[in-house]
C-alpha cells in the first residue's frame, strides 16, 4: 500500500473539497455517500473494530460512526485524516468509496476535484443569487416606504422636514444594505480565487 504525504496545500484542498461536498447536493452533482459509507463499514470490520471502539479512537460517538457508515453524513476532514491513518487507505480512496489501484488513483482524484469544483461554482452562484435578491428586496422596500409617506400638501414645515428625514434615512438604509451585500459578494469572490 502506498500513501501520499499530506502537505498544507493538500489538506486545504481536501478541506475545500469536503466542505463543498457537505454543503451542496443540488443541480445533480452528488457524491455517492452510500458507497463511501459501505466502504467505511467494510474497512472497520476488516480491522475488527466495533463502532464504539472506532469512535473512541477518533473522538466521536458510535452514533456518528453509524451515520457515516449509512451514508447519512460525511466525516469532516479531520476525521477523514484519522480514518485514513487507521485504515491505511488514502482520503481519495475513502471519497471514491473503494480501494484504488495506482492507475485509477489519479483518475479518481481528478473526478473528486472536478465534482468539488462544480459544487463550489454552484455554491458561489447560489450565494450571488441570494445577495442579489436581498439587494432587490431592500430597494423595493425603500421605494414602498417612500410611497406610503403622506403627500407634502397640507403638512407643516416641521412635518415636511420629518418626512424628508425619513426619506433620507430609508435611502441611506437601502444604500448601506446594498453596499454591504456588494462587499460580501466581492469578498467571497476574491477569497475563492
Nearest partner of 58 among 81, 79, 37, 87, judged by Cα: 79
Distances (CA, A) of 187 to 16, 30, 59, 124, 126: 17, 27, 35, 12, 15
Q: Is 105 found in the same domain as 127?
A: no
Q: Which residue has the higher pLDDT, 38 or 24?
A: 38
Radius of gyration of the chain (CA): 26
pLDDT at 130: 85
Report how far residue 8's alpha carbon sits from residue 15's, in angstroms, rounded to the nearest whole number.
10
Mind listing the pLDDT tens digit for each residue in 75-104? 888 888 899 999 999 888 888 888 877 777
Tell me the pLDDT band of 40, cut-offs 50, 70 and 90: very high
Flag whether 137 is in a domain: yes
Q: Is 85 found in the same domain as 61?
A: yes
Tell me the pLDDT band of 112, cut-offs 50, 70 and 90: confident
Q: Among 92-96, 106-110, 154-158, name the one with the lowest average pLDDT.
A: 106-110
Mind listing the pLDDT tens digit for each residue in 60-74? 999 999 999 998 888
Range of the domain at 151: 121-192
pTM (whole model) above 0.75: no
Mind listing the pLDDT tens digit for each residue in 114-127? 777 777 778 788 88
Domain count, the chain: 2
Average pLDDT over residues 179-185: 83
Nearest partner of 183 among 118, 121, 134, judged by Cα: 134
Flag whether 36 is in a domain: yes
DSSP string, 23-47: H---TT----HHHHHHHHHHHHHHT
Count CA atoms within 13 Å of residue 25 on its CB side. 7
> Which residues have C-beta within 8 Å of that of residue 51, sequence separation ≥ 6?
44, 62, 65, 66, 69
Q: What is the CATH number of the domain that holds 69?
A: 1.10.260.40
Nearest partner of 91 among 13, 186, 184, judged by Cα: 13
Q: Is 128 found in the same domain as 115?
A: no
Tell me the pLDDT band of 152, cut-offs 50, 70 and 90: low
Q: Is 144 found in the same domain as 70?
A: no
Flag whether 99 is in a domain: yes
Q: Among 8-12, 28-32, 47-51, 58-62, name the one with the lowest average pLDDT.
A: 8-12
Q: Is 115 found in the same domain as 30?
A: yes
> Mean of the per-residue pLDDT values for the chain?
78
Report how far residue 81's alpha carbon sits from residue 118's, in angstroms, rounded to the nearest whole number.
23
**Which domain-ending residue is among 86, 120, 154?**
120
Amino acid at each position: 500500500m502506498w500513501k501520499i504525504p499530506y502537505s498544507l496545500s493538500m489538506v486545504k484542498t481536501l478541506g475545500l473539497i469536503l466542505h463543498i461536498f457537505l454543503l451542496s447536493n443540488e443541480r445533480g452533482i452528488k457524491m455517492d455517500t452510500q458507497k463511501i459509507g459501505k466502504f467505511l463499514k467494510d474497512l472497520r470490520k476488516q480491522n475488527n473494530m466495533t463502532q464504539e471502539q472506532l469512535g473512541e479512537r477518533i473522538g466521536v460517538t458510535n452514533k456518528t460512526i453509524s451515520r457515516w457508515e449509512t451514508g447519512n453524513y460525511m466525516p469532516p476532514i479531520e476525521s477523514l485524516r484519522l480514518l485514513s491513518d487507521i485504515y491505511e487507505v488514502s482520503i481519495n480512496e475513502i471519497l471514491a468509496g473503494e480501494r484504488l489501484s495506482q492507475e485509477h488513483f489519479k483518475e479518481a482524484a481528478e473526478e473528486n476535484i472536478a465534482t468539488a469544483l462544480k459544487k463550489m461554482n454552484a455554491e458561489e452562484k447560489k450565494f450571488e443569487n441570494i445577495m442579489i435578491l436581498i439587494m432587490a428586496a431592500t430597494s423595493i422596500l425603500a421605494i414602498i416606504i417612500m410611497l406610503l409617506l403622506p403627500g407634502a400638501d397640507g403638512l407643516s414645515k416641521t412635518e415636511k422636514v420629518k418626512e424628508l428625514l425619513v426619506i433620507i434615512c430609508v435611502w441611506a438604509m437601502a444604500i448601506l444594505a446594498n453596499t454591504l451585500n456588494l462587499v460580501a459578494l466581492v469578498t467571497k469572490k476574491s477569497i475563492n480565487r
